[in-house]
Structure 1
Amino acid sequence: MDTPTLLTHLETHDTALTLPRGGALRWDDADLHRHAHANDAEGYALLGLAPAARTWQRARVLLQILAASQARLDARERATAARVARVLSLGLPPAHVITVLLALRRLRANHKHTTRAALRFVLEHPDADALIAARRPALLDCFEHALGTATARGCARRIAAGETASDYLRRRLLRFLTEPAAVSAAVPARVRALYTTDHQARHTATAALAGHDPVLPLDAARERPATITATNRGDIAATLVHLYRGGPAEELYVALGRCVGAAAAAFPRFDGTVALVLDASASMRGYGDREWALLSQAAALRMVLSQVCARLEVVEVGGDERAPRGATDLATGVLDALGADPDLVAVVSDGYENLFPGDLARVVASLPRAGVATPVVFCHALFTGSDDLRPRRPAPSLPQRGFWHQDDFAELLPWMFGHCRAGAPWLRAALHARLDALDRQADGLTTGLAA
């Protein structure tokens, strides 16, 4: 699986899945998702939780893991897929999940894991009552597809007659439901609601669910200041700016160590070697209100990587972090970095190559012909997320990504490490940790209902 390409696709392509009446499912990147799933089913499922993945791309991941057979997967891979499906079912807007379930019906996907996911969404979602009231016909279709029409209606008839835990219901319906008793007790009422028409309740619920948010936020809220300054770009960079400007060194160094440790603790250990080409030229210092903004953010990344990576080799070009000066010679920096035999070379710069313009592009183009296979990536230090990068792309052929805030590291590091072979275990570990955290939050939603 080409992880960087797939990650970029998940983060940029947000075309909706559509189900034209009487037509085929419109899924413009289906081949990409099917190939990625076939190549590494567990890794593909985990990438659906990657920070910054678009909502409709996560819906596609949910659709693919529910539509595909699990016959060739081992127990661990099946468990991961089930957990990801649960998290995505709770973390996506309900309308997106309903589209996925209807798409499964259109695709005639009827695996056991498909049945479990569909029934748990229809009958055990925290907002199931409101969803049934608002989207009863669609959820009835999903319910009947999951069980089969005859079986679904047989269960509904028995529930209408007063059965709640008969052997028939246990074998045909209840065995797929695994939530606590307080939720399961609501299942008969929800099945009855699926087969009851109440236009007034539907109208009221539809209005209430307009713009309904997911019950499980998949991404943490990010700081977006109305006015961006040199000191509101994350705690590490802010502390460095105060330090560079002559603040009380002893206090600031203590705070800096605390901030860097907290940021690095969010990531697993990377067992490979990263060579960081750090632009410390005069342009990185900036001036006026932007003085030290870019260099402090680049230094923050360097400090976090120093704690995350087993080995970090830093090659400064121009001056150094405390005394940026001179012109930018990124090409020589890359060549020096390659001498450390790293798994990955990461260039961190504002993009102004002003010593030998075009030199980096020429060196990068010559590396494969010289037998150098070490991946090289370019990390743009930005002042805001909307900076104009057109005059700041010294090597357009390099994979490039910008960052302006400490929160961007959550997306930047997976993208960086995804380019090298040694990064595959790191990325899997990071996404597993993310899945564990989201799974615990999902358990909390269930506990709240049971209480």
Structure 2
Amino acid sequence: MFVNAAVTATGQREFHTGAERQRLSLAFLHEYVLVNYRELYAATLALAVNDLNAGLVVLNLLRTAQDVPLPRRKLEGALIAARLRSLPPQRVYRLLRALRAEGVNNRRTRAIVRDWVAGRPDLAFDAVKYRRHLAGAARHTHLRLPDEIGAVLFDWRRPKRYTTPILEAWRRAHYDQRAVYELPYTVAEGFAARHRIDRARLLARAGGQLTALERLRLQRATGVEADLHRTPLTRLAVYVLSLPRPERARRREELTAALRAAARRAAGRRAGTWGTVVGVLDDSYSSSGSGVKRRRPLAVALAMHYLLEALAGRHHTVWLTHTGDPLLVHPVGATPLGQRLLDGLRRRPDRLVVVSDGWDNAPPGQAAEVLRVWRERLDPEGRTSVVHLNPVYDADTFDVRRLAPAVPTVGIRDAEDAPALVELARFAAGTATFAQLRAYLDDLVEGFLR
């Protein structure tokens, strides 16, 4: 339950539930697991939980450090340090701000923050891009910083010149337009507003400072060229679905090639090892997501189409409504999962993978009955493995919605995590013991820290 929530829940509005209910449900679940299963709670840092929940786990472990014995505290510290290294810096700085707001400043926290800051590949870059956050963390945990970093954070006007190029460019940008174009794009945007530099001019001269994700975000609005063949699979699917359908059709060859390349990278060594696979993918209206997560469930389904194609020896996709080119899929209609499951099971695949929010409603409950009869009457030997991947957290049940009790359901945020999440499916089915789950997590932790 908690792993599913930690993978899918973002505290944002979903199609069926509002943001406040999402946050309240998630906060309760974190507190419950922290208090009752602290070791497993810490071990989830080794899993593919999303950045929000990884940050919450770290925050909760650090603010309750006094509750655990020293040996366990050391393992938690190692897990926290390893996870922080994999988080985006803006997420870590947000976490440090939360620690400061809650007054968490024990010795372990200071050591973890010190080591993370010391491990940053370019602290001068952070001092410019995340200046306030780094300054706040330095004050709170009493960090010792290199001279120029400390100066730019707390008394930037004092030095007449910085020897570090990016710091000097930032200093000059306060009065010299030419220096603006030497800064990271998001920093340059602030100075551009001050100097009344329009976006077209800024992009023309500072476009080389854009990151790959910034290029992808700005491509449609500004015409900046993005390298789609280096974009992660799910993020690429989100981008594809943001395009008008005529543009998708016009760029079919380019977009399909990029999605297949991303899927092959995600499949890695598992490519072609899953045998015959049928994917039942949800393109109902609820897959449109919400105003803050536009088409996210549908993007996961689209990404899974290409990933299953890469993982399978033979592959077939059944959309709930759409037929034809998957690039042109769009959210529409009800959720007739039962009928589409029948269509998929008729092919008797080795694996049947369902990607859906689980709101089976045409008619309600048909999917559960189809799966029950299939397992009890038609495939009691279990020749076809069925797994349900759900990209949407259900705040009312503190979990993702399930299709049937006997079918393992796991939460998914990024399609790239699907191969690892399928490994967790046996625990979601309830057929594994608590001891087996604990042993599995211990192995993951050991590999994560290696």
Smaller-chain TM-score bracket: 0.3 to 0.5
For normalisation by structure 1, the TM-score amounts to: 0.44
What TM-score do you get using the length of structure 2 for normalisation? 0.44
